[in-house]
A and B are shown apart, each in its own frame.
Chain A
Amino acid sequence: MSEANSKSPFAILDQPTRPDDAGRPGPYPRSPALSPRVNPQGEAVTLTIDGKSVTTAPGTVLIEAARQVGIEIPSYCYYPGLSLQGACRMCVVSIEKMGKLQTACTTIVSNGMVVHTDSDEVKNARKAMLEFLLTNHPLDCPVCDKGGECELQDAVFRYGAAETRFLETKQHEEEKKFSSLVYYDRPRCILCYRCIRVCDEGMDVNAYGIGFRGGLSVIIPNRGEHLECEECGMCIDVCPVGALTSGTYRYKTRPWEMTHVGTICNHCGDGCKTTLAIRNNQILRANNRDHSGFNGEFLCAKGRFGWDFVNSDQRLTAPRIKRNRQLESGSWEEALSTAAARLNEIIAKSGPDSVAVLGSNHTANEENYLLQRFARTILGTNNVDHHRTGDFSSLVGALTAANATDRYATMQDVFEASSILLLGSDPTHEHPLVAYQIRQAVRRHDARLYIVNRAELKLRRQASLYLKVEDEGAAVGALAGTGAASPELGTLRERLSKENDTVVVFGDALRGEQVTGLVRWGLTLPGKSRFVALGDYANSRGAADMGVLPDTLPGYAAVADAAARARFESAWGAEIPAQPGRNARAIFAGIESGEIKALLVFGSNPVRSFGVKPETLRKLEFLFVADLFPTETAEVADVVVPAASFAEKSGTVTNTCGQIQALKRTMRKAGTRSDFEILVALAAQFGANWPYRSSEDVLKEIIAQVRGYAIPLPALLVGGAVVTRPQGNPPPLERADLIFSARDSLFTSGSISRYSWALNSLDEAKKPHGTIF
């Protein structure tokens, strides 16, 4: 990029040159796109493996074909989705009419092939490979952190190579601390190169390399002795042996001593599936080892390590009530009755619209649903809002208006896309999984990525076209033909007009009318274009979907729409005020002006997120806060109750693509209650007798009442991700500054990440945002 280009507001920056080797199976990890291209369209291939006939897609490697009929061929360097290596030679098989043994991981199936995976020749070869691997490998499984889940240990068990003929001195090297979260032990390393590839091909970080050569080969980090990277920890996850270990987990326990519960990560809006491993009511590890979610094995640093805020000793564990200007511990009973009494008082004196409610984008759908019901029917006000981080309302409104609610793109759609248009967001930091899916689409499916963004971003490395603009909104206007189009935008428009089924991903830079314009234009692109609005945090989308908004009821039904009101009123047996309430900005203005006298805040820290001054909040007659931590907002509250974290409750969350998934309770934290329990109890204080015994009861009501949420419950309960397709008539966005991303980094997620030791221990987290990647 020339100096002149970088200054131009409309500079087209084309893809940098890189090795052009699509489809070349080769062992070197540095080249992109080395996986064989399975071609499901081509004619099926039939072959015989161990006497079984197998029919599979052309381009399939033998090792996968064997797996399809339940034949497990051992392998170390082979890893599905990563480039082929042919390095460990464990997967050797004999193929009739071929002289030498062949590696099943690199051999492409062909018609009539006859393969034996279990002959003596094959078994002996595998045993020989194990013997080679063990020459320099310590034989101390009982003290190794990987013991019990080590792929090398398993194979030795199966093929037997434990007795040693190796009389030479083993090469020794001290263990290295690559970062506070990643440790490397060379003697245990079998050089399968999975870590290098997952970091290069999966993450496009390239933090790993190989040092020296031959028997001295060693995995090296990119900054001398240390890693400087996104710290996603995927390298640890894919390591088949105990060479790469986790700084938060190592030597704490044994895999068989933990219980594993699949749930959804609570940090960003992508909704990665994670398996929490628990012992003694403590989370010890998170990964997605069974690859059950749409994230496959992917988790970012927050997902893999950042759960430790749950275990933080700064968690609130008892309600706190202000007495004599001091917050003091109290009972749940006292906290809730005090809150009810004060609120009743204020409503009696100043009317229900003097009270406002701020919801959370971390809590469950059921809790959000109850929260707005609580505000609307018990407090009697539509003054309910939350920190909106993406404009879901406008997307829903635009798609509904165009009768195109089949055009919500899922996380899988991003992965499978052949063409992606990304506008006004840097997913690498704010949506690590979206970034991952985009990279995989480019690497594995040759997708073209088009970017329109004001800032430089790492995904530019994958982009076919990167358009640096001053204002994404203006660019969209020009693309859609309402503003002046630069030649560069013309090029983009032309390139997109040649694509099919483009997935349009946009961030908070686009709001209100701009979203409407983008969708309207996007729908004119060839094929079935689909859309993703990006919003931060685990349940931003759910908060909007559930109507934690002043002007829409659950499912984006306008408050002003009498029919919609009537539908919910009959479900709830209570009246809903007909006037839209105050939005978040108007609530804070109301506090300033004295019109808002009481505020309830659930799982949110407006002092930080909205920059509301604590003095402003002090003007309130009553402030109620439910939270995990003593945040800046909680500090000025009159009543604070300790809430349960995502790991301590059940419920559902909806990711930024609108895919709903279940949270599973994995543990309990003494003294805390979930927002569900808090709301039900609080409602009872007001004399309401809500019919919900569990959050599942609420979910059933949501399924019945919320447009677009009529999902099959069983699919959810077995751990699936089900796409929702909201349909509604939300009023236009009142003001643009209601929508803003928190600009979290890879190592922050609002207030909760401040209580994560793991995230705060990282050198990368200390560097200014955006200076590393």
Chain B
Amino acid sequence: MLSDALKAKFDKIIARYPLKRSAIVPLLMFAQDEIGYVSDEAIEEIARRVEVRPIEVIEDIGYYSMLHRQPLGKYNIQVCTNVSCLLRGGEEILEHCSKKLGIGHKQTTPDGLFSLEEVECLGACCGAPAMQVNYDFYENLTPQKIDALIEKLRSDGAKKSP
């Protein structure tokens, strides 16, 4: 079930556009932020609200790489390996995360806490190597920084999730 707050947000966003269907991607993003992925229910609900057929929403989900049909880890670690980061060890950062978490690209830890993704340029080239955890940027990374961060997230995550 989508929360009332989310539904209210939907209404507000849809109202901004001259054409309702313009809101599809923002609505998908916000639904995903709440549910953790794009559920069937979210698809139906969004299609209904913006007056399109569900297939059109499904097409969008397939196109945009930030939209997921499956739950990800609580912390989605997205490591950039594009040129600027590559030149500063981005691939090694990815490898380090992978070893540390025991998962590969687009995989999730069994406890559901972390997932890992190799991503394209994050727009943090001057702070390379860089990554994002969910929407938060981490830059000028080193293996030590990663270790500390993962430890912190692990204890945060353990605290917050019952």
In the complex, residue of chain A having the shortest beta-carbon distance to the beta carbon of B20: A17
Closest chain B CB from A210 CB (angstroms) = 6
Q: With an 8 A cutoff between CB atoms, is B123 at the interface?
A: no
Q: Are B59 and A209 in contact (CB under 8 A)?
A: yes
Q: Which stretch, B47-55, B89-97, B111-119, touches the partner chain A?
A: B47-55
Q: Please, how many angstroms separate the alpha-carbon atoms of A206 and B56 in the complex?
A: 8
Closest chain B CB from A227 CB (angstroms) = 10
In the complex, residue of chain B having the shortest beta-carbon distance to the beta carbon of A20: B19
Closest chain A CB from B48 CB (angstroms) = 12
Q: Please, how many angstroms separate the alpha-carbon atoms of A19 and B62 in the complex?
A: 21
In the bound complex, residues from chain B placing their C-beta under 8 Å from that of A16 are: 51
Given the known interface contacts A213-B62, A220-B62, the answer about A208 and B55 at a Cβ–Cβ threshold of 8 Å is: yes
Given the known interface contacts A17-B20, A19-B21, the answer about A212 and B56 at a Cβ–Cβ threshold of 8 Å is: no
* Interface of chain B: mostly helix, strand, loop or mixed: helix
Closest chain A CB from B51 CB (angstroms) = 6
Q: Are A213 and B54 in contact (CB under 8 A)?
A: no
Given the known interface contacts A16-B51, A222-B54, the answer about A210 and B59 at a Cβ–Cβ threshold of 8 Å is: yes
Interface of chain A residues 393 through 407 with chain B (CB within 8 A):
none
Q: Are A206 and B19 in contact (CB under 8 A)?
A: no
Contact pick for A206, options B51, B53, B63, CB 8 Å: B53
Q: Please, how many angstroms separate the alpha-carbon atoms of A721 and B58 in the complex?
A: 43
Q: With an 8 A cutoff between CB atoms, is A207 at the interface?
A: yes
In the bound complex, residues from chain B placing their C-beta under 8 Å from that of A208 are: 55
Q: Are A211 and B19 in contact (CB under 8 A)?
A: no
Contact pick for A211, options B21, B53, B59, CB 8 Å: B59
Q: Please, how many angstroms separate the alpha-carbon atoms of A510 and B96 in the complex?
A: 76
Q: Are B19 and A19 in contact (CB under 8 A)?
A: yes
Interface of chain B residues 48 through 104 with chain A (CB within 8 A):
51, 53-56, 58-59, 62-63
Closest chain A CB from B22 CB (angstroms) = 9
Q: Please, how many angstroms separate the alpha-carbon atoms of A209 and B63 in the complex?
A: 11
Q: With an 8 A cutoff between CB atoms, is A30 at the interface?
A: yes
- Interface 0/1 of A204-227, CB less than 8 Å to B: 001111111100000010100000
Q: Choose among A18, A20, A206, A209 the residue with the greatest number of B CB atoms under 10 Å from its CB.
A: A209
Contact pick for A212, options B19, B20, B53, B63, CB 8 Å: B63
Q: Are B19 and A209 in contact (CB under 8 A)?
A: no
Closest chain B CB from A469 CB (angstroms) = 24
Given the known interface contacts A17-B19, A17-B20, A19-B19, the answer about A207 and B63 at a Cβ–Cβ threshold of 8 Å is: no
Q: Are A17 and B51 in contact (CB under 8 A)?
A: yes
Q: How many residues of B contact A (CB 8 A)?
A: 12
In the bound complex, residues from chain A placing their C-beta under 8 Å from that of B63 are: 210, 212-213
In the bound complex, residues from chain B placing their C-beta under 8 Å from that of A222 are: 53-55, 58
Q: Please, how many angstroms separate the alpha-carbon atoms of A18 and B56 in the complex?
A: 13
Q: Are A30 and B56 in contact (CB under 8 A)?
A: yes
In the bound complex, residues from chain B placing their C-beta under 8 Å from that of A18 are: 19
Interface of chain A residues 1 through 27 with chain B (CB within 8 A):
16-20
Closest chain B CB from A207 CB (angstroms) = 7
In the complex, residue of chain A having the shortest beta-carbon distance to the beta carbon of B53: A206
Q: Please, how many angstroms separate the alpha-carbon atoms of A134 and B56 in the complex?
A: 29
Given the known interface contacts A17-B19, A17-B20, A19-B19, the answer about A212 and B55 at a Cβ–Cβ threshold of 8 Å is: no
Q: Please, how many angstroms separate the alpha-carbon atoms of A208 and B51 in the complex?
A: 17
Closest chain A CB from B82 CB (angstroms) = 16
In the bound complex, residues from chain B placing their C-beta under 8 Å from that of A19 are: 19, 21
Given the known interface contacts A17-B19, A19-B19, the answer about A209 and B51 at a Cβ–Cβ threshold of 8 Å is: no
Q: Choose among B19, B55, B59 the residue with the greatest number of A CB atoms under 10 Å from its CB.
A: B55
Q: Choose among A16, A208, A212 the residue with the greatest number of B CB atoms under 10 Å from its CB.
A: A212
- Interface 0/1 of A430-447, CB less than 8 Å to B: 000000000000000000
In the bound complex, residues from chain B placing their C-beta under 8 Å from that of A20 are: 19
Q: Are A206 and B55 in contact (CB under 8 A)?
A: yes
In the bound complex, residues from chain A placing their C-beta under 8 Å from that of B54 are: 222
Q: Are A220 and B58 in contact (CB under 8 A)?
A: yes
Contact pick for B62, options A30, A206, A207, A210, CB 8 Å: A210
- Interface 0/1 of B20-64, CB less than 8 Å to A: 110000000000000000000000000000010111101100110
Q: Please, how many angstroms separate the alpha-carbon atoms of A209 and B55 in the complex?
A: 6
Q: Are B21 and A209 in contact (CB under 8 A)?
A: no
Provide 20 A-B residue pairs closer than 8 Å at the C-beta atoms, listed in order of the A residue: A16-B51, A17-B20, A17-B51, A18-B19, A19-B21, A206-B56, A207-B55, A209-B62, A210-B62, A211-B59, A212-B62, A212-B63, A213-B62, A213-B63, A220-B55, A220-B58, A220-B62, A222-B53, A222-B55, A222-B58
Q: Which 10 A-B pairs have the closest CB atoms?
A: A209-B59, A222-B55, A211-B62, A209-B55, A212-B62, A213-B63, A206-B53, A210-B59, A16-B51, A206-B55
Footprint of A on B, CB under 8 Å? 19-21, 51, 53-56, 58-59, 62-63
- Sample of 17 further A-B pairs with CB below 8 A, known A19-B19, A207-B55: A17-B19, A17-B20, A17-B51, A19-B21, A206-B53, A206-B55, A206-B56, A209-B56, A209-B62, A210-B59, A210-B62, A212-B63, A220-B55, A220-B58, A220-B59, A222-B54, A222-B55
